[in-house]
Each structure stands twice: as structure tokens, then as C-alpha cells.
Amino acid sequence: MAEFPKLTDRPEWTALADHRAQGLPHLRELFAADPGRAERYVVRVGDLHIDYSKQLITDETLALLQELAAATDVFALRDAMFRGEKINVTERRAVLHTALRAPRDAVVEVDGENVVPKVHAVLDKMAGFAERVRSGEWTGHTGKRIRNVVNIGIGGSDLGPAMAYEALRPYSARDLTFRFVSNVDGSDLHEATRDLDPAETLFIVASKTFTTIETITNATSARSWLLKAFDGDQKAVARHFVALSTNAEKVTGFGIDPDNMFEFWDWVGGRYSYDSAIGLSLMIAIGPDRFREMLDGFRIVDDHFRTTPAEANAPLLLGLLGIWYGDFCDAQTHAVLPYSHYLSKFTAYLQQLDMESNGKSVQRDGRPVEWQTGPVVWGTPGTNGQHAYYQLIHQGTKLIPADFIGFARPLPELSEELRAQHDLLMANFFAQTQALAFGKTAEEVRAEGVPEELVPHKTFQGDRPTTTVLAPQLTPSVLGQLIALYEHKVFVQGAVWNIDSFDQWGVELGKVLAKRVEPALTEGADVPGLDPSTTALVAAYRTLKNA
Ligand code: F6P
């Protein structure tokens, strides 16, 4: 691998640091001097109108950031990804979630094999199965139609389908119940199944590796729950369990009919997988046509990212803005604030996408990084957060760049009265970014007759950066566009930071230690090698457990 020059020694990096050290005018001044930035700092991708005019940047900042992207060859790595090269260096794997939404006639090769026909064969198999469940043709062991679908998975095998199901609920088959079980805490499965009839319940076991302990434990318990209802008749499993995995051997070992397995491949990362077979529960919910619309939405942004010049390339711009704040303005976190109740799981989904991808401290060749990498990503839907943590964003001591995501139209399903609430929701959406950017000066506060001692408390400094993403309506295509936008943004940042955004070694140690500790809890066994603090805690746990 070619040695990547140290990022912080690059002239493009030091130019940005110098630019930052000179300080930037307040957003109030930037807009006063250049009102045109409101039109200029906008990029459109598919249905997404992305306004970054309220960012703490000037034309010079943008030019310097673009020079950094050019110097770090972001587009060369992008092209290598789309070509199927093994850019996941530590696992020696291609990174081809973009092939999951490639059109039928596309050619994307991994090790000389075109993978697109395989992708479409699985999509077709999923569509056939989804239609059979939705129509009632697929029945359970006793001949009853399936009414409940329970997805068992964790991480990327849960967050994607769970988030997208919530987002697209209005498009879903309302006569079916969908639940998502991820936590190895048995109460998750208990609550998901306690009111369900086993004869009407389909379990989808979603696990790329089919070795993840949480998922296999929950799936085993679900199988027991099912078999209990059918006097242990193993034949029931074939009608009530399907698997989504890359590991046919383990799936068969678990007792799931290989015909009921929907395959994907090692070049699909877990957190990039919900548009693969992992999306089966979603496809049953919204139907194959809507699912394909969603894939088309992903593809719009893939094509944009692949072909649009740097200055108008939305994922590149958003990625570079994140680098500006994290590496040059000392921001530690990034808030994602969707103004849609349907996007209640959107930020949780992005947490895995971003933090598992870019939460790294070594470079692709193993050298330590000496710059900031991925931010803490957080947020919940507006307007709820406004009455909770926005105080800190407005008046706290921390710089928190935020993405505001909103829609022009509510979903048609709502009553007229509830639809009318949408303007109030969006009035808040626009008001918040205005308040964050422009604040309220002490003079403005005084002019309202506020007593002098309260003036500092009621002053808003402003100059808090936001990006506004506006779309016509939350449709399957728009959801696909949004997710692809963030996927590629994360890619851009990883490329500049020279980290492998596609491995996740950081989750391994905890898994190994949990396996080691478990016998101490269940059997009271002595566990060699436990540190004194954990040994004492385990002893306290045992005492409490047996009290
Ligand atoms: O947390 C680690 C991880 O490997 C994630 O990357 C992945 O999405 C999740 O576990 C679940 O893995 P699997 O789909 O193999 O069960």
C-alpha cells in the first residue's frame, strides 16, 4: 500500500488550520456582506434540497476544504469502491453496497464475477416471498395466514429494517404487525411475542454471520416459544422461520430450510445492508414495488456521488463540513434532527453507520491517526428535542453542528386537522435554524424592555451552524436518497482521514470478554484473568442474584 503522507503535514491541512486561526465573521455579518450565499450554498440531489448557507464557512473555507479532498484522492477511492476493489483493507473485502441498487443490466465485478445478476435473483426471490406473505398464500404450520412478522437481528441486521419500517409505516400493510427484536435482554423477545399467536407469526432471523450471540440466542428462544405451541413438532420451523445471511452452513445448522434463506455477500457491510436481503421484513411491510422505489432513491444519490463535480457533490460537501468542524473548530459531536415523527429511529441508524464506520484511531496502514476522526452522532425528532436539549445547542458552551431534515408535505393518510399541524411543525423547523444562526443580541433583548440583570440570560449568541435538508415528502425513494447521502458522506470523511470505514474491530473485545465472564454469572465459576474491579462487581452481582 502506498504510504499516505501524514494528513496534518499536508499543506492543504495547514492552510485550513491557518484559515481557522484567522477567525471567521459571525454568520450575521457573513449574510449581511453576502446575502447571495443563501442561493449559492445550496445543492440539489434528486428530491433533496440541501442548504448549507448557515454554515460557518466562506468561499475560501470551501475552496480550502476542496483542496484537501483533492489532495487526499477522495474521488480515486470512490471510484475504486464502485469498481469493486477491496478497499476494506483489514478484512480484504470489496465494499459494494452500491451494487445492491444497481440496475439489472449493470456490470459490477468482484474477483472477475459480475455480482448484479445475483443481487437481482435475491431481490426477485424476496419479492416472491413477500407477496406470498402479504397475500396470505404463505401460511403457518396450521394453515393460518401470517399476521405477525418478527425480525430478530442486531446492529445492521436490526437498525436498518427497524428504522425504515418506522419511516415508511404509512406505506405498510396495516393488517400485518411488525416487531423488531435485537436485545439479548429476554424482555425484548418477551414483549415482542407475549400477545402474538405462534400459528400466525413468522420469524425472520437476520444475521450476516449467523454467529452473533444475541441473535442466535433470541432465535433459539423464539424457536422454543414456537415449538411449545406445536408440541415440539419440528416441521413447524420451516413455515415460521426464514433466515437472511451470508452463512448457509450455520443457517442449515440452526434448522432453517435452505430454501427459506435469503442470501447476501461479504462485500455488504452490516451497517450498509438494509437494502440487501436484510430488508426482507421491510419488503413484506411495504411491498416489492415500494422497496424497488427505495432502491431507485439510493441509486439517484449513488449516481450523483459518482458523477457530480466536486463543488456540487453533496456527500463530498457534507463530509468536508464535518471535517471542518471536527478537525478545525473543536466540535466533538454532530446532531441529526429530523422533523418527522416517522424518522424516530433515523439518528439511531446513523449512529451505527457513522460511529461504527469512522470511530477509528489508526490509519489504513496501521499508523495511529493524529487528528480527530468520526464525531459522536446524536439527536431525536423535532420538536421534542426543542423542549429538552436544544437549550445547550443554543446557549451552551459547546459547538454542535446540526442537520435539520424536514418535509414540505405530511403523509396523505393524516386527517385534515392533523395535516394542518404540519405547518406548525415546519415553522419550528425554520425558526430553530434561524435562531441558531442569527441569535439575539443584547441590544435586541434590551429593546424589548428586559431588565438589565436578565439581559445576558436572554441573549443568544447565534453563530451555531446547521445544514437544512428539505424534501417534498417522506417517500420510499426519498428515504433511499437520504440514507445514501449519509453513507457517502461517511465514506468521504473516512477517505480524508485515511481510515478503514468498513471494518469494526472495536466491537470484538467486549464480545470475547462477555463469553469469558458468562460462566462466572451462570455457574458461579472462577474466571481467571478478570481484573480486580470486575471480580468485585461479579461477586456483588452473585450476592444480589441469590439474595
Ligand atoms: O456490532 C458488530 C456487528 O458486526 C455489526 O457490524 C453488525 O451489523 C452486527 O454486529 C450484527 O452482525 P450480524 O448481522 O452478523 O449478526
Q: What is the DSSP string of 522-547?
A: HT----TT--HHHHHHHHHHHHHHT-
Distance CA 356, CA 359 (A): 6
Is the pTM higher than 0.80? yes
Residue to mutate (ligand 1; options 213, 251, 507; most atoms within 8 A of CB): 507
Catalytic residue among 166, 263, 356, 487: 356
pLDDT band at 9, cuts 50/70/90?
very high
Signed CA dihedral, 438, 441, 446, 447: sign only: negative
User: How far apart, in whole angstroms, are the C-alpha atoms of residue 342 and residue 348?
Assistant: 13
> From the alpha carbon of 209, which atom of ligand 1 is closest?
15
Please identify which residue in the block is written with the cell numbers 429494517. 161
Integer-rounded Cα radius of gyration of the chain? 25
- Residues near 303 by beta carbon (within 8 Å), at least 6 away in sequence: none
**Ligand 1 near 493 CB (within 6 A):** no
Ligand 1: nearest atom to the Cα of 153:
16
Cα-based angle 147, 149, 152 (whole degrees, multiple of 5): 160
- Evaluate the CA torsion angle 473, 478, 479, 485 in order and state its sign: negative
The answer to whether the CB of 208 is under 6 A from ligand 1 is yes
Segment 219-230 shows an average pLDDT of 98
- CA distance readout (Å), 365 to 5, 397, 497, 547: 11, 36, 12, 52
Specify whether 511 is catalytic: yes
Tell me, using a 6 A CB cutoff, whether residue 504 lines ligand 1.
yes
Q: ipTM of this predicted complex?
A: 0.98
Q: Where are the extended beta strands (E) located within 105-223?
A: 109-110, 113-114, 148-152, 177-181, 201-206
Torsion sign over Cα 42, 327, 57, 407: positive
CA 227 to chain centre: 35
Query: What's the whole-number average pLDDT of the chain?
Result: 96
Residue-by-residue DSSP string for 237-255: HHHHEEEEES-HHHHHHHT
Q: What is the pLDDT of residues 12-47, one digit of tens each?
A: 999 999 999 999 999 999 999 999 999 999 999 999
Q: Among 163, 207, 208, 275, which residue has the most ligand 1 atoms within 8 Å of its CB, making it the best to mutate?
A: 208
pLDDT in tens, 243-278: 999 999 999 999 999 999 999 999 999 999 999 999
DSSP 8-state assignment for residue 398: S
217 lines ligand 1 (CB under 6 A): no
| Neighbour count for residue 335 (Cβ, 10 Å) | 21
Considering the candidates 511, 515, 518, 545, report the single residue annotated as catalytic: 511
- Out of 89-98, 250-259, 334-343, 469-478, least confident range: 250-259
For ligand 1, say whether the CB of 351 is within 6 Å of any of its atoms: no
